[in-house]
Every structure is written in C-alpha cells, then in structure tokens.
Chain A
Amino acid sequence: MTTHPGLAVRASALVKKFGDHRAVDGIDLEVHRGEVFGVLGPNGAGKTTMLRMLATLLHIDEGRAGIFGHDVRTEPHAVRRLLGVTGQYASVDENLTATENLWLFARLQGLGRTEARTRGAELLEQFDLTEAASKPISAFSGGMRRRLDLAASLLTRPPLIFLDEPTTGLDPRTRGQMWDTIRDLVRTGCTVLLTTQYLDEADQLADRIAVIDRGRKVAEGTADELKSSVGQSTLQLQLADAADLPVVADEARRLVREEAVLTPEARRVNVPLTRTDQAVDVLVALRDRGIAIESVTVQKPSLDEVFLALTGHDTHDTHDTEDPQDGAANRGADLPDPQMEDAR
C-alpha cells in the first residue's frame, strides 16, 4: 500500500479506455482532508468517468487510486464504507417515498430500525423535505430530488462525498440552495470532491480546482489563480459608430496595456482587464474623447475563456471526443456561459 493515509483522495496516472478512446488519460489528483476540491471541465472531458473509477463503479485500466489510504482496486469494500456518492447517476428509488428511500438505504448500511427511522427524519428535516416525506418521488421537483439524493448519501456520515455535477439542470434559486447545502456539509468536516461544468460553481464552492480537458488535467490551482491566468474580467462595449473602434483600441493599450478585440460588424470591442476597476478609467477616457457608447458590460471570465487560455481551444471542440459516461449532461454543452445556463 503506497497511498498516503493523510490524503482523502490520491490518484496517480489514472487511465480509462473505451475502445480506442482514452476517456481518462493519465490524471493525477490529490484531495486533502476537509477541503472542497472541484474538477472543472466541459462535457466529455472525463470528469464523470474519473469519479466513477474512484467510486469503484468503473474498473481502473491503468494507474492507481486510494481513498484515505485504501486502494480502490484491491479494497473496494473499504472504499465504499468511506464514500457517499451523489450525482448524475447514483439515484433514489422512484417507487418509494422519501421516507421509504432513506429507510431503505439506512437499513442496507446496517443502521438499526429505530436509528434508521430517526436518522431519516433528521435528514429530511435538515434538507427541508419533511412536508414531502410521504409523497411519491415522481411528484418531486429537480431540486427536491437532488436534495433527497444527497440526504441518502449522508446517512452514515461518510467522511468523503463525491458530488457529480450537483446543480446541472437546476434553476438559479435551487442552485443557490444546493450551494448552501454543500457549504453546510463542508462545515461538518466532510471532504468534498465535486465535478462541474461551471466556473462560477467551482469558484463559489471549491478551495482548489483541477481543470480537465480530453481526459487530461490541464491546470490546477485556486479559483483566483485560474482566473488571473486569463485576466480578471472583460469590458465589453458597443459603440454607436464602428469608425471609433481604433480609438478604443488605442486607449486600451495606453490605460490597461492590453490588446482589445474588435468586432467591426457589430460595432463591438472587448477589452481584457487585469482589475475590474480599470473599466472606469477606460470609460472616462472615452467620454473625454467624445465617443458615443451604446452599451457597456463588465464580464467575469467564462469557462470558455479559461479554457481557451489553458488549452488553446474552446469547450465546444471537445464534443468530437464525447465521453459516453457524460451523456446525461449534454444539454449544458452548447451554452457554457453560466448565466445563460441558469435560465434553464
């Protein structure tokens, strides 16, 4: 046993092949106890496949992985005792009520009858599901299902939780609630490994982030480190007259020492900013020079931009190497911008 007991997750050179396609292609990962580690990447990047390997759901083709020092391949049973898994795949029983589901999973994991009942009630209360406790799951909203799913993973208070795209497909309000729930979870001392397609989600929740692309890890660091690698944000301007665009480019070079991106057909210009407040300097300078502006937005970098900066291609390109395991989350693929995604 060479895996480190001080780490919650340690994986080295993990590989998963589906035929010729290397869905996970030599990923190293170290998750410390008590941290929230985010795995960020587009659909088909291999996030879910990696998580399934770590959760004993998929065979590890090459490399090795340990959970709290237990080898995933040789001690799957020990690993399962330490893990709670919630996500796109691990689910609840449609034919049972919320109470019955929690009872089922509690009993399966060795809780006594009384303990199973009280623990179930406790979790329903905590996840705000008490009112829906005896309703059929088919009457549940997406958010309620995710909460029940998470509750079912917490029955034995596992020290490590895997969350596979916990908010994909949820509306903004429900997503916010889910984030709060995850934060509460971390406060109890739980280690969390989560995958997501949204930079803002990783930003909100994760202490450290690994960016995965085409089965490989392309970057790792805190959210701030990742974002500063692409510039903090972008000033987007639409001008009244396309002829003024070169003036904006000049001012950008002078004030923020960045090269502006011009789109003359749309009378648009994007100015990369290292600090958001530089937007004011640019706008004041443009007013002084009498340039008419139709609209102004300051945007944080999107996952697309982080990706472009890190990999040299945007998230859409990865579709060619679609990971069959990530199929369920395809809906989000064409709209990597989190704000747009929220509207769904």
Chain B
Amino acid sequence: MSTLTVTDPADVDTDRVGVAETLTQTMTLAWRATMKMRRSMEVMFDVTIQPLVFTGMFAYIFGGAISGDVQSYLPLIIPGLIGQTVLTACVATGVQLRTDMDTGVFDRFKVLPISRLAPLAGPMVADLLRYFIASVLTFAVGIAIGYRPGGGVLGVAGAVLLAMLAGWSLAWIFTLFGIVGRNAQGVQAISLLVMFPLTFLSNAFVPTDTMPEPLQTFAELNPVSLVITALRDLANDGAVTAGVGWALLGCTVIIAVFAPLSVRAFNRRM
C-alpha cells in the first residue's frame, strides 16, 4: 500500500471537460463497445447473416416481378438493401444503449468526471464498424450474384462511406428511444414501429411511382429514400449528384434534431 498516496483536494483540476478530453473519452468508450462486439458475436448477426441471406433472397424473389429479371433488379435492390440493413443496425444501437444503461457500469460512468456526451458517442462510433461490415457484405453478395456497379471501385467506396455516415445519423433517432425507453423490450418495440415505415415507405425495394399519392410523397421525402438514391447514384453511376447532396442534407437535419434531444434526455438521466 506504500505506493498509494491520496491526491490533495486542492490540487484537483475542477475545470469542465475540454474537446480533446471528450474525444479521448469517446474513443475509449468506442474501444469498450468493440470489445463487447468481439466477446458476443451474436450482436453482429444483423450486419453479417442478414446481408448474406436477404441480398440473395430479395434479388431472386422480387427481381423478376419488379424489373423483369434478377440482373436488372440488382442495381435497384443492392443499394436499397444497404439502406435497409444499416437502418436495422441502428435499431440495435438504441436497444443496446438501454441494456447498457441498466447495468451497474453505467452508474460508474455517471460518477466519473467525464463528458456527458462520451457515453452516447462512444458506442455510436463503434457502430460505424457495423455499418461498414453490412454495406461491404451486401455489395460482395451482390457482386457474387452478378451485380456490376457502374461506379467502379471509387463509386462503391463512396457509397460505403455514405452508408456509414447515414447509419451514424439515423442512429441518433434510435439512441433517443434507447434513452427514454423504459426497458430494452420497449425500446425494441417502438424502434421497429418506426423502422418499418421508414424502410418500406421508401424506394428501397420498389420504384415509388406506383405508390398512391400521399405515400409517394412520404417515400420521396423519407431520409432513407434520399440516402438510397444517393447510394445508387454513387455505386451505379459513380456520380456525385444532387441526390448525394440531398442525402447529406437529410442526415444533417436528423442529427440537428435528434442529437440535441438525445443529449438533453441523457443528461436528465445522468
């Protein structure tokens, strides 16, 4: 015990947490989240098994009906599925946050002199890895069954980057649910309730022009549609179009609305 001496209370730095500290703390908590992923691989099923199974399934089931044949459906469905899978992965973000907040370790985070933002931002940074895996796998399966992205390597890389950014943005919605939800099951239920319309009332699986008027309007303004359109532009044409701009704007709006709401709700509970 001789090595232990106590810090003098007068020597303790009582300043607020700075930006550099917040960043270190966020990255440290991101590291914790990746360790958790590595220890329990089942949390990765939604970004591994799901792209593997869904990509083939959707292509072969809907391909003929919607686009005449599977090959011509692939440029439509592959970016659509990436949008859908990333959105599903976001749901897990909220549920996991709720589960985590219910454990004793979160109480310790609360009594540590750390940024109130880091416990939220940390896991979200780690989730970028999940979006990356999901989009790369979906592209890989697509290419294996005959998808030839016209945008080339650069276009696909751009699409993967955009998918990661979109996932991070959309995750703020589900993070808010995770914070305000009563328990993990409740968070899961409400998240699915929001996720399904966002997924299916979009251009992910079908062109929106066959939808009735009000649904069509929603589907076109749906940020998920904006992102998917941008993914198609990037992957299929390798073009940084106005669609990409709209997607980025949509993501920005979501962050601007849900990030402050989440942080506020979180601080009230911290």
Residues of A within 8 A of B (CB): 8, 55-57, 68-70, 75, 77-78, 80-83, 85, 89-96, 100, 104-105, 107-110, 122, 126, 152, 154, 156-160, 184-185, 187-190
Contact = CB atoms under 8 A, between A and B. Distances in A.
Interface in B14-49: 14-17, 21, 24-25, 28-29, 31-32, 35-36, 39-40
A82 B9 contact: yes
Contact of B105 (A8, A77, A92, A158): A92
Nearest to B13: A81
A92 B108 contact: yes
B108 A105 contact: yes
A152 B108 contact: yes
Given A77-B16, A184-B1, A108 B111 contact: no
B111 A159 contact: no
Nearest to A107: B28
B193 interface: no
A305 to B, nearest CB: 34
A10 to B, nearest CB: 13
Given A77-B113, A78-B14, A108-B25, A90 B7 contact: no
Given A126-B4, A185-B1, 14 more contacts: A77-B15, A77-B16, A80-B113, A89-B104, A94-B103, A95-B40, A107-B24, A108-B114, A110-B21, A157-B6, A157-B7, A159-B12, A160-B9, A189-B5
Contacts, number: 106
A158 B32 contact: no
B107 interface: yes
A87 to B, nearest CB: 9
28 contacts: A8-B9, A55-B111, A57-B110, A57-B111, A68-B9, A69-B9, A70-B14, A77-B14, A81-B12, A82-B9, A82-B12, A85-B108, A90-B107, A91-B103, A92-B104, A92-B105, A92-B108, A93-B103, A95-B35, A107-B28, A108-B25, A108-B109, A110-B21, A126-B4, A156-B7, A159-B8, A185-B4, A188-B4
Interface string B107-122: 1111111100010000
B3 interface: yes
A188 B7 contact: no
A80 B113 CA distance: 5
Contacts of A57: 107, 110-111
Interface string B82-125: 00000000000000000000011101111111100010000000
List of 5 A-B pairs having minimum Cβ-Cβ separation, nearest first: A91-B104, A78-B14, A80-B113, A68-B9, A107-B28
A197 to B, nearest CB: 20
Given A89-B104, A91-B104, A80 B7 contact: no
